[in-house]
Amino acid sequence: MTHRILTTLALAAGLTAGIQPAVAQFEGETLYLFNWSQYMDPAIIENFEQEYGVEVVENYFNSNGEMFAKLQAGGVSQYDVIVPSNYYIPRLIESGLVQPLDHDRLTNLDNLMDTFQDPSFDPGNAYSVAYQWGTTGLVYDRGALGEMPASWSVLFDPQMNPDAPFAVPEDSQVSLGSACAYLGHGYDCQSREALQEAARLMLETKQRDNFVGFIQGTPVLQQLVRGSVSAGITFNGDYLFFKSEDPEGFADIEFVIPQEGAEVWVDNMMIPARAPNPELAHAFIDYILRAEVGAALSNWNYYSSPNAAAIPLLEDILQEPPITPTDEELAVLAFTPSLEGEDLQFLQQLWREVESR
């Protein structure tokens, strides 16, 4: 029986015991959730539906850019809860695509760790509440490449693995941030000079014969096992989950935080500006903030919980690397910067040039 099935059964048993029916005001209503794929335990949804007498309809996106575009194209009035990453939150607020939260409806908000209660990208949690957090690092096939250094040179040094196929994500800030870190500017570089240098490196990287294309963090893990690529960029939780599901296939697949610097991120729950049911959306966010639900979410998807009350309920494997970074790794991790206005336009133009050449 897989980890996810076991966790689902444990959650169902734990959350249904002694549950009292929720306020009848939501009976028969529908919550529309727009989330990353494979990022929500089905048992959490089932128990929420049972407790509140509602239906949850889930839709999925594969990148923050895709989510943003769908909101602009009418999704702002189609979804009740969205789950963007930290650096997209200022863009969503500035664009008027999300609405302020009613903290009076979020009775479990104090369960959040102090780190996530007043984030720089959304002071006072005016619009967002942390959902899960993790890191983005280098992943490679030790069987194909041998033992590699914990360095972005595995991807960006053409002399390191000249014949080994590799990929990078199509997310401009993740890929350019990694290139910036390799060049010594730090993962969170924002100067135009540093970004231009990183874009030039990405162009050179893209034009190498062993570059196979832009592959996102989750699909690249599947490509590694198949042997289609030997190195890429992925997320710590996805790596650990796939490894737990296929220990033999992942026996030689390594995940490391490069010494030059890498990304720490937090995904957040927000409510679109014209959500069909904002009251139910608040109830759902508050439900996720419960200690037992927050723990079940992390135990299912292998990412870190921002919920301090959930920590005692987490599985031991989540409280050690690669899920909980070491002190040395924490020292080189940084949030992807939130760019706006002309700075964002400059980055987008750089990336269009990288993609088109």
**CATH code of the domain in which 10 resides:** 3.40.190.10
| Tally of CB atoms within 10 A around 343 | 15
Could you report the per-residue pLDDT of 194-205, keeping only the tens digit for each? 999 999 999 999
- What gap in Å lies between CA 351 and CA 169, rounded to an integer? 12
Same domain, 98 and 169: no
Q: Are residues 101 and 139 in the same domain?
A: no
10 plus 107 within the same structural domain:
yes
For the CA atoms of 294, 297, 301, 304, what is the dihedral angle to 10 degrees? 0
Instruction: Tell whether 86 and 43 lie within a shared domain.
Output: yes
Tell me what pLDDT residue 18 has.
41
Residue 223 sits in the same domain as residue 339: yes
Is 44 in the same domain as 114? yes
Quote the mean pLDDT of the chain. Answer: 92
φ/ψ of 305, rounded to 5, equals -95, 135
Strand 81-82 vs strand 253-256: parallel, antiparallel, or unpaired?
unpaired
Residue 57's H or E segment, with its range, is: strand 55-61
Residues paired with residue 132 on neighbouring β-strands, in sequence order: 267
pTM above 0.95, yes or no: no
Taking residues 126-151, report their average pLDDT: 97
Pair 165, 253 in one domain: yes
In the block, residue with structure tokens 């002071």: 123
Instruction: Determine the structural domain holding residue 99 and report its residue range.
Output: 3-128+270-319
Return d(Cα 168, Cα 205) in angstroms, integer.
10
Report the domain count for the chain. Answer: 2
Q: Quick check: 14 pLDDT over 80?
A: no
Residue 25: per-residue pLDDT: 81
> Are 48 and 196 members of one domain?
no
Find out whether 34 and 269 touch, Cβ atoms under 8 Å.
no
Band of residue 22 on the pLDDT scale cut at 50, 70, 90: low
Beta-sheet strands, E only, within 142-238: 166-168, 211-214, 231-235
Q: Are residues 150 and 174 in the same domain?
A: yes
What is the pLDDT, as a whole number, of residue 23?
A: 55
